[in-house]
Amino acid sequence: MELYNLTIHELHTRLSTGEVTSQEVTESVLKRIESIDKQVNAYITVTQPLAMAQAKKADEVISRGQCTPLTGIPLAIKDILCMKGVTTTCGSKILENFVPPYDATVIKRLREEDAVFIGRTNMDEFAMGSSTETSYFGPTRNPWDASRIPGGSSGGSAAAVAADECIAALGTDTGGSIRQPAACCGLVGLKPTYGRVSRFGLIAFASSLDQAGPMTKDVQDTALLMNVICGYDPLDSTSLKVEVPDYTAVLGKDVAGMSIGIPKEYFMEGLDGEVAKAVSEAIKVLEGLQMEVKEVSLPHTDYAVAAYYLIAPAEASSNLARYDAVKYGYRTSKDTGLLDMYMHSRSEGFGAEVKRRIMLGTYALSAGYYDAYYKKASQVRTLIRKDFETVFEECDVIVTPTYPTSAFKIGEKVNDPLNMYLSDIFTIPANLAGIPAISLPCGFTGEGLPIGLQLLSNSFQEEKLIQVAAAYEQESRWHLQKPTLAM
């Protein structure tokens, strides 16, 4: 087995005992990227000189006996998290040459652990998409089937982990953008509680929904990354002062007696038969672990997509107003006046999906329609949150499919935005409610495509998700299967 095949915890054991060096691991990953990324397009930028310098430093740290679980581990970072001195594009032409002068807080925390940054991963432009097809740098392809999407918007991070082009990655999740690609690529992906992970340095799409989180090869690696990236940050006004537990402490812990809720609204018409079967079998596995299974109701689920696609575009319209081509970002080459410069720079710099959402959001916030659209959507959001609060009074976790189908073909929905938006139905409610959710592999379709199982818990109870996910993973072994890529 090659070094790039291993997990964080497997490599930590080898690094801490001196069996391998971080430089050897990093070289292994870089060679893997060089050999297959032309097929996958997981990366926008590969930071080879930085990675090798960090690996050399990590080896020096390890030689002094100071090896933490992430020391010397090559990680990929979604290209929406600012990294000092490294181009950060958000998958957009408008930020094609933007180099941040500071680190996002999550990047700073990983640097303090002497992690290695292997590159910046591809993504839907400004995280607006479910397929990683809207990137200015071209679509990312699913390592399980190169004709299919890897999910989005963190599709580059997911594909990089699935194809062993990194050991683990960070993504962001505004409406399912960690969990959906995790499901499509056969990974573990966790969206933390809103306020659990700092958003400082995360370039904003929808500020009340965005959260950074881990995308990994197994649940233990997710716990290790969560231990580092979580915690209060005074630089983020939405960061909350809540104690961060040791997420690895619940690994292997018995789940007998815990209760799981099965919401009837998530097993509806339109759910693919193979997905429904795999999730039902996963529920039986959990039931076999002596978990109590209850049918529950989340009655406002049907309104989640409509509410989200008013709230998120409205916030995007406000956030993306800063890209005026004056202080930074793309500026048109046309010699025009000020107003024309704004118009041409934005129309040339933004892609079609971003423009669509800016227009939707601007309309929803306009004086004559604010109460009818944005205000009403915000009220529905409150009802969705109350639905979850009611269910969590009787259940520890909720179990659902992550995605209504397996990964679809590239180009299949690109001209049908409504159909694309509806694929977010199972993931959006967690973002609207601000609660944590995790996706993990629970099977494969007849065509060999991964299927994801989603677990949700109440706010700041990520340890319950990790405990139940680890218990299921121990029984299932789906996470051990790897895609076969022609070298």
Cα dihedral 105, 109, 114, 115, rounded to 10, equals -70
Would you give the DSSP letter of residue 261?
A: E
Q: Distance between CA 424 and CA 410 in Å, rounded?
A: 17
Residue in the block written with tokens 């060096």: 21
The order of strands in the sheet holding 292-296 is: 43-46, 116-121, 74-78, 168-173, 211-216, 188-191, 437-444, 450-457, 397-401, 259-263, 292-296
CB of 153 closer than 8 Å to CB of 123: yes
Q: How far is CA 436 from CA 209, 252, 455, 462, 474, in A?
A: 12, 20, 9, 6, 21
- Of 58, 77, 79, nearest to 69 by C-alpha is 58
Residue in the block written with tokens 């759910």: 271
Structure tokens at 461: 């109870």
Q: Is 78 a catalytic residue?
A: yes
Q: Is 153 a catalytic residue?
A: yes
Which of the following is catalytic: 92, 130, 177, 317?
A: 177
Q: Is 457 a catalytic residue?
A: no
Q: Which helix (H) or strand (E) holds 391?
A: helix 376-391
Q: Distance between CA 155 and CA 177 in Å, rounded?
A: 8
Which of the following is catalytic: 22, 130, 135, 153?
A: 153
Q: Distance between CA 25 and CA 67 in Å, rounded?
A: 15
Which of the following is catalytic: 78, 191, 217, 464?
A: 78
What percent of the chain is helix, strand and coil (3-state, nearest 5)? 45, 15, 40
Phi, psi of 28 (to 5 degrees): -60, -45
Burial class (CB in 10 A: 0-12, 13-18, 19+), 65: exposed
Neighbours of 8 (CB within 10 A): 24
The catalytic residue positions are: 78, 153, 177
